[in-house]
Every structure is written in structure tokens, then in C-alpha cells.
């Protein structure tokens, strides 16, 4: 247990040194924003019956009530607002992966286990598999 903690601590220190994480701290806005000055148009997208039918066909979903359609329209409206954002001169985000930094990983040590011992921990098993209570109820019906 202690070895994993030390490895995580070492990895975090490597990240701090390589990427200078303290430079990525967010700042708190000191000035206020006047809502009247912002020019944001919330034109809600309205789907036609033909569009809904097409979306149902290609997605394999069925809209059962108007609330689901309204929710989809709101999602499309939000996506349209995101697409309108001007990202010129905005640097792309990056992701820290195993390839970009040398993080020490724990060695994988395979261990043979007896499945009978494992299944002693559950009362819901069938044919060598764990079974959820919902599946078990269906089997009983």
C-alpha cells in the first residue's frame, strides 16, 4: 500500500516539475459583468415532425412525449451556441498521458484464484457468473 502512495507522490512531483502546475491556477474576476451589455441570443431550435422522424430512425430512439423533444431542442440550441464561440487565438488543451511523462507504474503480477472462493462472497450467481437481482427476478418469472 505504501509503495503505491510513494509512486503516486513521485508521479505528482514529476508533473509539477515538468508542467509547472502552479502556473495554471485560475484567477478570480475582480470586475462585474453588466448583463445588459452582453449580446447573447438564445434562439431555441424547433424541430419539425420530419426532422424528429429522421432522428428517431437514425438514432434508434423513440420520443414518447413532447418533453423529450423539448430537451433535445434545448441540447441542440446549446450546441449551436458552443459552435458560435470564436476560438481564434485560443490555444488547444492538452492531455497528460503515459507517453508524455515517465510515471512509475506498479508491476502487474498475475495471481491464480479459485472461482469457488470468489463465488462464496455472493448469493447471486448462475452458471459461473455474478447475477444482478434484476436478472434473477426475470429468471424466476
Give the model confidence (pLDDT) of 88-114 as tens digits.
888 877 666 656 667 677 888 998 888
Our CA dihedral for 80, 83, 84, 87, rounded to 10 degrees, sits at 160
Q: What is the mean pLDDT of the chain?
A: 73
pLDDT of residue 17: 59
Q: Are 106 and 4 in contact (CB under 8 A)?
A: yes
pLDDT of residue 12: 62
pLDDT at 140 over 50: yes
Question: Higher pLDDT residue, 75 or 92?
Answer: 75
How sure is the predictor about 13, in pLDDT bands with cuts at 50, 70 and 90?
A: low
Measured in whole angstroms, how far is the alpha carbon of residue 91 from the centre of its chain? 22
pLDDT of residue 21: 45
Find which of 9-18, 35-44, 121-130 is predicted with most confidence, using mean pLDDT: 121-130
pLDDT at 33 over 70: no
Identify the helix (H) or strand (E) that includes residue 26: none
Amino acid at each position: 500500500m505504501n509503495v503505491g502512495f510513494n509512486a503516486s507522490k513521485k508521479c505528482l512531483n514529476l508533473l509539477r516539475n515538468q508542467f509547472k502546475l502552479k502556473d495554471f491556477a485560475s484567477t478570480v474576476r475582480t470586475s462585474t459583468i453588466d448583463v445588459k451589455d452582453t449580446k447573447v441570443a438564445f434562439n431555441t431550435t424547433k424541430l419539425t415532425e420530419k426532422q424528429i422522424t429522421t432522428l428517431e430512425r437514425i438514432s434508434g430512439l423513440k420520443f414518447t412525449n413532447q418533453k423529450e423533444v423539448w430537451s433535445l431542442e434545448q441540447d441542440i440550441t446549446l450546441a449551436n451556441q458552443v459552435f458560435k464561440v470564436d476560438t481564434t487565438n485560443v490555444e488547444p488543451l492538452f492531455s497528460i498521458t503515459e507517453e508524455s511523462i515517465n510515471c512509475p507504474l506498479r508491476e502487474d503480477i498475475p495471481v491464480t484464484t479459485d472461482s469457488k472462493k470468489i463465488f462464496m462472497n455472493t448469493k447471486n450467481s448462475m452458471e459461473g457468473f455474478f447475477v444482478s437481482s434484476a436478472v434473477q427476478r426475470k429468471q424466476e418469472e
